[in-house]
Amino acid sequence: MNAMNMNQLNTLTLLAVGLALTVAGCKPEIEGELGDPIDKRAGFLGTWELASFTQQDLNNPVKEVRDLSHLYIQEGIAPLRMDFNEDDSYGITQEIGRSYFGDGGMWAFDDPAFPTFLILMGDTDTLQYNLGTTVRPYDDQMAIEYRRSCGEGGALVETVIYTFTFNRIPQ
């Protein structure tokens, strides 16, 4: 190829790249506002009734999830209920099943704006659970995860995840 053809090829290549960048840079401007952030605390307020209880064994290669709801939900017996109150107190009503949430006390999030953990502070202990979902004031379901671990310090390994799924009881 001679120098003239090479210059024309370079010019055409630059024009094509310039055109592609111009087209790619033409995006519509976003209009409107996202609105105020959702009040995560207000989403938790109210009475919640256990709908399901599952267990996932993280050591099992299949990572199957087992439904163990029958341990908490049986005909003729009121399911586990949690009440989250405006004054940051919480109460538990439970007739059967292992007590994972204590008897009641005060509740909080690790970070009110972006909660990851639910913290339950009873008279004798403080319990911390992963939030399976962010609960908005209009949501009718929430999930709380209890993650069991083995080991110590930096060698701590999660072994089991218990997931409690609750339905909101209308007031």
Residue 18 included in any domain: no
Residue 154 included in any domain: yes
| Residue 167 pLDDT exceeds 90 | yes
pLDDT in tens, 40-56: 889 999 999 999 999 99
The residue type at 2: N
Residue 148 included in any domain: yes
From the number of C-beta atoms within 10 Å of its C-beta (0-12, 13-18, 19+), residue 2 rates as exposed
Give the mean pLDDT of 102-122: 93
Judge contact between 115 and 109, C-beta under 8 A: yes
CATH classification at residue 137: 2.40.128
Q: What is the pLDDT of residue 65?
A: 92
From residue 87, alpha-carbon distances to 17, 83, 106, 108, 166 in Å are 62, 11, 8, 11, 21
Residue 33 included in any domain: no
User: Would strands 141-150 and 157-169 be described as parallel, antiparallel, or unpaired?
Assistant: antiparallel
Q: 149: pLDDT confidence band, cut at 50, 70 and 90?
A: confident
Residue 134 included in any domain: yes
From residue 23, alpha-carbon distances to 16, 19, 20 in Å are 11, 6, 5
Residue 46 included in any domain: yes
To which H or E segment does residue 20 belong?
helix 3-25
Q: What is the pTM of this model?
A: 0.75
Residue 22 included in any domain: no
The domain total for the chain is 1
Residue 131 included in any domain: yes
The range of the structural domain enclosing residue 111 comes to 40-169
